[in-house]
Amino acid sequence: MENYIVSARKYRPSTFESVVGQKALTTTLKNAIATHKLAHAYLFCGPRGVGKTTCARIFAKTINCMTPTADGEACNTCESCVAFNEQRSYNIHELDAASNNSVDDIRQLVDQVRIPPQIGKYKVYIIDEVHMLSASAFNAFLKTLEEPPHHAIFILATTEKHKIIPTILSRCQIYDFNRISVEDTVSHLMYVAQKESVTAEPEALNVIALKADGGMRDALSIFDQVVSFTGGKITYQSAIENLNVLDYEYYFRLTDFLLENNVMESMLLFNDVLNNGFEGSHFVTGLSSHFRDLLVSKDPVTLPLLEVGASIRDRYQVQAQKCPLPFIYKAIKLCNDCDMNYRTSKNKRLLVELTLIQVAQLTAEGEDVSHGRRPTELIKPIFKPAAAQQPQATASTQQPVATEKPQSVTATPQPAHKMPDILKSTKTTTEKKIPVISASQISIRQAKKNTAPEQIMQTTQAVIPSEPEKDYPIDEVNLNLHWQAFASELPQDDKALADRMKHAHIKLIDDVSFEFVLENDFVKNLFVPLKPAIESYLRKHLRNKQITLYFRISTTEDKKKVLSRGERFQQMAIINDALIDLKNEFGLELY
């Protein structure tokens, strides 16, 4: 049976022109070769599978080529190129620093550097995964790397540049390789599919490219896996099934449910995702990416940022027109918060479901979606209050207005407990419709004839003037309780002020005023804008309109002094003289 070669090795680039996604770097290297301006040390760094080692090999073969082409590529026909292609060249040496990272390995390499090449101009040493060298090996390599023989060129390759010591970095020309874009990856996979006589849908190749995350080697490995699964006919459905990827259809359907405020269908769809074996974190990150793609689809200027297939791109543009921008902004924020809290949450499924509920309420009627940085967290009432009954007043109960000035009717004092806002509005409406009648105009005998008893009672109560609302006394316990409650209701942007309020100590000065001790004037200036809001909040909840807040900068007397044992004994002796007699009687001493 013929030996099978994976696509990552079979279609490995052999020229600078065939390198995918690194046009700027390959052009720089070709120009350096053409102008004979070669450095003695290079450092190729970047993510895995983007062509670092491949470019190092092409560079080594090209500088030793005896008859290079007009565009700066190797000829692949001379003795040096043939020896390199057959892997028998003595001018190009590769060293795996992951397994050869000791001082002895580097010393052996230094000894080999002194020998000049037999064929060609340069001896090239490619050291892969150079960040794995030990500190001693790096130090042993410094002098040779800085001043090598004229025939030696070092090419270091690594995925973790930050682990290389600065003295090595300063001796090299550094080339940063980028992740390969989805478009370039799809184009190369299409080329490989044509060479292998494989039929593939562009959407399926797009899924493979997204799964590879910018690495061409990973993309070709995934491509081989999907080809084996499908038998040479790669479809979008087979690709997402084999790669365990959530279909775009889930997110399109879910977004429609969320725009319709359909919480039940959204939760059922999430349950279907879990039943198919997907993790909740994977679902949330995919939903965040979906909302991000909807955002870039809103404007034709940002449409190039959408890395999806052509048919799915049209669906994104259609659905993006249905989504208001504030909805997308807040949905991304909620999904991002869910993603950050997912790992620490004990009930992960409930966390995702609560996020879906919040997103589904963003476009609910009456919800403000155009202001603020985060969604308003409100609990909406389930039952609507019954319509308030209007006071019935017949024409017979309303007497002509007298010449004297009628007495003003004041509002009935509110009860001690907090009244809901709905009942407050109902009460206000009812009181406004009560007729104002002078006490001298009331005729009980005439009212008995013309009005019902209930109407008489309402009219009698309306003309009785109520006492003015009084201020309730306050104490430190309730004051501190509502102080903490106000701090808890501050927005997330004022978290620092809220924490300072929660740990602060407030003290009553008299019956209606209290003081807040602060460290310095800078902290005081932060709280001065909050003073009206604090006083209004406390006056409302403590039912005292005279409550006043004062700020005071702390002094040295406010700080508690740490007393020694002798000083504490003296303070106790002032209170109880018998302690001195006890000390003298037994001859006690304090240490």
CATH fold for the domain made of 182-242: Helicase, Ruva Protein; domain 3 (1.10.8)
User: How far lies 49's CA from each of 186, 220, 379, in Å?
Assistant: 15, 10, 51
Which residue is it, tokens 């909620």?
A: 334
State the SS3 of 393-428. Answer: CCHHHCCCCCCCCCCCCCCCCCCCCCCCHHHHHHHH
Q: What is the pTM of this model?
A: 0.56
Structure-block tokens of residue 101: 């990272």
| Vertex 229: Cα angle to 223 and 230 (nearest 5) | 90
C-beta of residue 189 within 8 angstroms of C-beta of residue 205: yes
Residues of the chain with CATH 1.20.272.10: 248-360
In terms of Cβ atoms closer than 10 Å to its own Cβ (0-12, 13-18, 19+), residue 333 is middle
So what's the pLDDT on residue 82? 87
Low-confidence ranges of the chain (pLDDT < 70): 1-2, 310, 365-469, 556-563, 591
Cα 488 from chain centroid (whole Å):
23
So what's the pLDDT on residue 268? 93
Q: Distance (Å, rounded) from C-alpha 56 to C-alpha 42?
A: 9
Q: What are phi and psi of 518, to 5 degrees?
A: -120, 160
So what's the pLDDT on residue 562? 60
Right CATH number for 248-360 from 1.20.272.10, 1.20.1250.20, 3.40.50.410, 3.30.70.1450? 1.20.272.10
Q: Distance (Å, rounded) from C-alpha 84 to C-alpha 56?
A: 13
Q: What are phi and psi of 381, to 5 degrees?
A: -70, 145
Provide the edge-to-edge strand list for the sheet that holds 123-128: 92-96, 123-128, 152-158, 41-45, 173-176
C-beta of residue 218 within 8 angstroms of C-beta of residue 59: no
328: CB partners within 8 A, 6+ apart: 291, 294, 295, 298
Q: What is the pLDDT of residues 246-301, one digit of tens each?
A: 888 889 999 999 999 999 999 999 999 998 888 888 899 999 999 999 999 988 88
User: How far lies 584's CA from each of 323, 564, 568, 574, 587, in Å?
Assistant: 87, 20, 17, 16, 5
Residues of the chain with CATH 3.40.50.300: 7-176
So what's the pLDDT on residue 331? 93
So what's the pLDDT on residue 419? 43
So what's the pLDDT on residue 468? 56
What's the CATH number for 476-558? 3.30.300.180
Which residue is it, tokens 């001693």?
A: 136
Q: Distance (Å, rounded) from C-alpha 127 to C-alpha 95?
A: 5
Torsion of CA 99, 102, 107, 112, to 10 degrees: 0
Residues of the chain with CATH 1.10.8.60: 182-242
Residues of the chain with CATH 3.30.300.180: 476-558
Q: What are phi and psi of 426, to 5 degrees?
A: -65, -40
Quick one: DSSP state of residue 116? Answer: P
What's the CATH number for 7-176? 3.40.50.300
